[in-house]
């Protein structure tokens, strides 16, 4: 079973469009081939960003809450005890890398691979949602 941390941009993309790799990946949360890792700070970032960028579209606020609740219930919650900052150019990306290190994730799934240049030092591969689906054996 693979362990992965899903960056906020993937969650936003999945909720903005029912097409594409991001949406397909979120539909696979709970699949036995992989486990999504989540921390409280990242869950709060998901909530803040998704509500700001996705409200008023095809999803109601209640729909958004349901998706976020499902992600929180299905993911492996990992408390963060050690901060590795600063290693990345964007401070918001630090919590994603710290979660990946703490949870011993195999992957960070993101559209911004260049923002996670320090991840390979910790044995974490950085991949797109499309590439992660391929790793899972899904035909994108």
Reply yes or no: is the peptide bond before residue 110 cis, omega within 30 of 0.
no
Tell me the pTM: 0.93
Query: Residue 90 gets which letter from DSSP?
Result: S
The β-bridge partners of 35 are: 3
**Whole-number mean pLDDT of the chain?**
91
Residue 9 lies in a domain: yes
Of residues 134 and 140, the one with the higher pLDDT is 134
Looking at the predicted structure, is the pLDDT value of residue 130 above 80? Answer: yes
Residue 27 lies in a domain: yes
Residue 121 lies in a domain: yes
Residue 21 lies in a domain: yes
- For residue 137, the model assigns a pLDDT of 95
Residue 41 lies in a domain: yes
Residue 65 lies in a domain: yes
Structural domain of 100: 2-135
Supply the CATH number for residue 16's domain: 3.40.50.1010
What tokens appear for 51 in the block? 């509500």
Looking at the predicted structure, is the pLDDT value of residue 140 above 70? Answer: no
Sheet holding 2-6, edge to edge: 76-77, 34-38, 2-6, 107-109, 125-127
Residue 67 lies in a domain: yes
- For residue 26, the model assigns a pLDDT of 96
Residue 140 lies in a domain: no
Q: Are 96 and 46 in contact (CB under 8 A)?
A: no
Cα 39 to its chain centre, rounded Å, is: 10
> Number of structural domains, the chain?
1
Chain segment 44-91, per-residue pLDDT in tens: 999 999 999 987 777 888 999 999 999 999 999 998 876 666 666 677
Looking at the predicted structure, is the pLDDT value of residue 18 above 80? Answer: yes
Quote the CA–CA distance of 103 and 98 in Å, as a whole number.
8
- For residue 134, the model assigns a pLDDT of 96
């Amino acid at each position: 079973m693979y362990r992965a941390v899903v960056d906020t941009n993937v969650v936003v993309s999945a909720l903005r469009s029912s097409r594409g790799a991001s949406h397909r990946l979120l539909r696979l949360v709970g699949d036995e081939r992989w486990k999504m890792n989540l921390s409280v700070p990242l869950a709060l970032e998901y909530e803040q960003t998704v509500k700001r960028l996705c409200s008023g579209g095809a999803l109601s606020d209640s729909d958004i809450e349901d998706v976020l609740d499902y992600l929180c219930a299905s993911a492996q919650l990992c408390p963060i005890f050690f901060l590795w900052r600063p290693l990345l150019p964007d401070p918001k990306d630090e919590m994603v890398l710290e979660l990946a290190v703490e949870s011993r994730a195999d992957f960070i799934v993101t559209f911004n691979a260049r923002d996670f240049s320090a991840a390979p030092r910790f044995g974490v591969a950085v991949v797109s949602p499309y590439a992660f689906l391929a790793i899972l054996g899904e035909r994108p």
